[in-house]
Amino acid sequence: MNRTMPPEFRVKIDQEKCRKCKRCLMSCSFGVYSFADRVIPDSNKCVACNRCVVMCPEDAITIHESPNVYKDHPNWPLSIRKNVWKQAETGGVLLTGMGNDRPYPIIFDHLVVDACQVTNPSIDPLREPMELRTFLGRKPDKLEMEMVGGKPRLKEKLPQNIKLEIPVIFAPMSFGAISLNAHKSLAMAAKESGTVYGTGEGGLHEELYDYGPWTIVQCASGRFGVHSEYLNAGVAVEIKIGQGAKPGIGGHLPGEKIGAEISRTRMIPVGTDALSPAPHHDIYSIEDLRQLIYAIKEATGYKPVSVKIACVHNVAAIATGIVRAGADIVYLDGFKGGTGAAPTQIRDHVGIPIELALAAVDDRLRQEGIRNQASIVAAGGIRSSADAVKAIALGADACAIGTAALLAMGCSLCQKCYTGNCAWGICTQKPELTRRLDPEWGAMRLNNLLRAWGHEIKEFLGALGVNSVESLRGSRERLRGVGLDAQTLDILGVKPAGR
């Protein structure tokens, strides 16, 4: 009996419009609909993914918030009551998907960007040069040069870097968390747009090895699908220490998602649970991180190594340690970062916002004089080109987008990723669902998104009177805060608007 759980939504069918084509029955992966002379919805099962609404040719379906009312209590909103009921029923850990949905303040929305007026000119990005090219990786503090035949020559080669045509990359999401078609979409779009995508921790499917120059392969605590060839397949290797949505928490891909393709890619048997330990069991201290970084470098001919961490309290000290341990890229994932599955309480209550973490890390690396030694990638709550511009001004070399990329591929943010029933074919391994996402279509949509953001970033740069993204990078002088307290402004290194 499930009577203590009230439905979240109410599905209404306009029976006059309905032609009984049953597309809704086919579309819904959560089993809302049944048919007996007419379409009958079971609102209890609806997650508001809106697949049926989009697929209905007659526009006969509407989804509403449940009108059922419980007596209000400010300390006990219905969402919290539901959690207690669910746990009383199941005795289980609450699960959720996507990023933190608690109403924490969004600092990006309290930052505004500068523009040129009179004293220096803004630039028209459509007709004048505007450069977004970005290199991720270690840069030396100075160059050793010589002149040969009147032309400069490097005496010593630069360390390997990753070349991006836009300072936005696709966040690592594993094959397992998302479908192979979603991975293909990301790989194709990364190639087309001149950026990179991350494999996440689930290995690299054999069909995607050709996209190596646009791939960052990951080595996480579960070491799924990690072998010598894999480590050498991409342009860099990422050691995933943590994820913004679940700092300090391991992963767990349930056995029912381990089908033939995932089994082959992760190199584990079909149907077993894929457990990712909370820590890497070869990293219990900072010198151990260095040990793994150099083990990977030794095994890959010194490809760049990125270290991805969740933003936590001591993030600045941790990041400096990571750089000193030999990382070429520090990937910061803020507490609004997404996930395919995380314990709800962890997702909603652990970690700190990317804006503050990024500012603190960039500051500290500069104080230590080691900012050149590694690039910073900011992730976990980048929703628009404006967020990306603000993050770059705070000090990021590039941003990574996960949730925005999923939205581009059709996701409606129903947050049910952990059920494996994604009606859009993204966060599921069921063949009847994954085929809903055509990789060509997905890639096209991702490319559109990046093209649009690219234009917008150029507009920001033009308004700022600079024609290359490195003139914005770390230029906090071009940001002002609106409605932020003095302490927060101090951490951000940003003046209040009006100053």
Partner 1 sequence: MDHWWQKDISGCGLSGIINWDGKRISGAVIKKSVALMHDRGNGQGGGFAAYGIYPEHKDHYALHIMFTEEPGKPTRDFDDAMKETEAYLDRALAVDLAEDIPVRVTEKVPSHPLLRRYFVKVKQGSLKGTNMTEDDYIVSAVMHINDKIDNAFVFSSGRNMGAFKGVGFPEDIADFFMLENYEGHTWTAHNRFPTNTQGWWGGAHPFTLLDWSIVHNGEISSYGINKRYLEMFGYKLALLTDTEVVTYMFDLLVRRQGLPISAACMAVAAPFWKDIDRMEESEREACEAIRMVYGPALLNGPFAILFGHGKGLIGMNDRIKLRPFIAATKGKTVYMASEESAIREICPEPKEVWAPRAGHPVVVEMGKGIV
Partner 2 sequence: MTINAKDVYYRDLNERVREEIKKGAADVVLDNVNGQRYIADGLRGKATITINGVPGNDLAAFMDGPTLIVNGNAQDGVANTMNDGKIIINGNAGDVLGYGMRGGKLYIKGDVGYRVGIHMKGFKSQVPVIIAGGTAGDFFGEYMAGGILVLLGIGKKKNEPIAGGYLGTGMHGGVMYVRGEVDPRDCGAEVGILEPNEEEMAELSAYLKEYCKDTGHDYGRIMKEKFIKIYPKSSRPYGRLYAY
Point out which residues bind partner 2 (CB under 8 A). 86-87, 89-95, 219, 221-223, 226-229, 231, 252, 254-255, 263, 267-269, 271-273, 275, 277, 281-282, 291-292, 294-296, 298-300, 418-419
CA separation for the pair 200, 175 (Å, rounded): 7
Determine, following the binding rule CB under 8 A, whether residue 158 of this chain makes contact with partner 1: no
| DSSP assignments along 218-235, one per residue | EE-TT-TT--HHHHTTSS
CA separation for the pair 101, 98 (Å, rounded): 8
Q: Which is nearer to partner 1, 258 or 307 (CB)?
A: 307
Determine, following the binding rule CB under 8 A, whether residue 318 of this chain makes contact with partner 1: yes
Cβ atoms of 439 and 185 within 8 Å: the answer is yes
CA separation for the pair 198, 137 (Å, rounded): 15
CA separation for the pair 122, 460 (Å, rounded): 10
- Residue keyed to tokens 């919805």: 41
CA separation for the pair 396, 340 (Å, rounded): 25
Partner that binds at residue 66, options partner 2, partner 1, none, CB closer than 5 to 8 Å by kind: none
By CB under 8 A, name the one of 26, 317, 452, 482 that touches partner 1.
Answer: 317
Residues between 454 and 483 with contacts to partner 1, criterion CB under 8 A: none
Determine, following the binding rule CB under 8 A, whether residue 372 of this chain makes contact with partner 1: no
Determine, following the binding rule CB under 8 A, whether residue 485 of this chain makes contact with partner 1: no
By CB under 8 A, name the one of 95, 267, 286, 299 that touches partner 1.
Answer: 286
Count of residues touching partner 1 (by CB under 8 A): 19
Q: Which is nearer to partner 2, 175 or 418 (CB)?
A: 418
Determine, following the binding rule CB under 8 A, whether residue 368 of this chain makes contact with partner 1: yes
In eight-state DSSP terms, residue 158 is P
Q: Which stretch binds partner 1 (CB under 8 A): 99-107, 193-201, 250-258, 283-291?
A: 283-291
Using DSSP, state whether 465 is helix, strand or coil: coil
Partner that binds at residue 368, options partner 2, partner 1, none, CB closer than 5 to 8 Å by kind: partner 1
Side-chain-side CA neighbours of 274 within 13 Å: the count stands at 29
Site string for partner 1, 293-312 (x = CB under 8 A): -x------------------
Continuous H helices in 241-340: 260-266, 286-300, 315-324
By CB under 8 A, name the one of 45, 86, 324, 445 that touches partner 1.
Answer: 324
At closest approach, how far in Å is the CB of 289 from partner 1? 8
Pairing of strands 495-496, 479-481: parallel
